[in-house]
Amino acid sequence: MRDWMNDNIPMEHLLPDTLPTYVNSYVYMFGILTLGSFVWLIVTGTILAIFGPEWWHVSPVGHFFNSMHFWGVQAFFFFMVLHLWAQFMMAAWRGGRHWTWIGGWVLFLVSIVGGLTGYLSQNNFDSQWIGVQGKDAMNATGIGGFFNLLNFGQMYGLHIFVIPFVLVMLLVVHILLVRKHGVVEPLPLEKGADVLHETDQ
Could you report the average pLDDT of every consecutive run of 10 residues in the chain (201 residues)?
76 72 85 95 96 92 95 96 92 89 95 94 88 88 86 92 96 89 81 49 47
User: Is 4 among the domain residues?
Assistant: no
Could you give the number of structural domains in the chain?
A: 1
Q: What is the pLDDT of residue 196?
A: 44
Q: What CATH number is given to the structural domain containing 167?
A: 1.20.810.10
User: Is 90 among the domain residues?
Assistant: yes
Task: Look up the pTM and report it.
Answer: 0.83
User: Is 51 among the domain residues?
Assistant: yes
Q: What is the pLDDT of residue 199?
A: 45
User: Is 199 among the domain residues?
Assistant: no
Could you tell me if 95 and 155 are in contact, meaning their C-beta atoms sit under 8 angstroms apart? no
Q: Which residues span the domain enclosing 74?
A: 24-182
User: Is 64 among the domain residues?
Assistant: yes
User: Is 80 among the domain residues?
Assistant: yes
Q: What is the pLDDT of residue 192?
A: 54
Q: What is the pLDDT of residue 170?
A: 96
Q: What is the pLDDT of residue 110?
A: 97
User: Is 198 among the domain residues?
Assistant: no
User: Is 79 among the domain residues?
Assistant: yes
Full 3-state SS string of the chain:
CHHHHHHHCCHHHHCCCCCCHHHHCHHHHHHHHHHHHHHHHHHHHHHHHHHCHHHHHHCHHHHHHHHHHHHHHHHHHHHHHHHHHHHHHCCCCCCCCHHHHHHHHHHHHHHHHHHHHHHHCCCCHHHHHHHHHHHHHHHHHCCCCCCCCCCHHHHHHHHHHHHHHHHHHHHHHHHHHHHHHCCCCCCCCCHHHHHHHHHHC
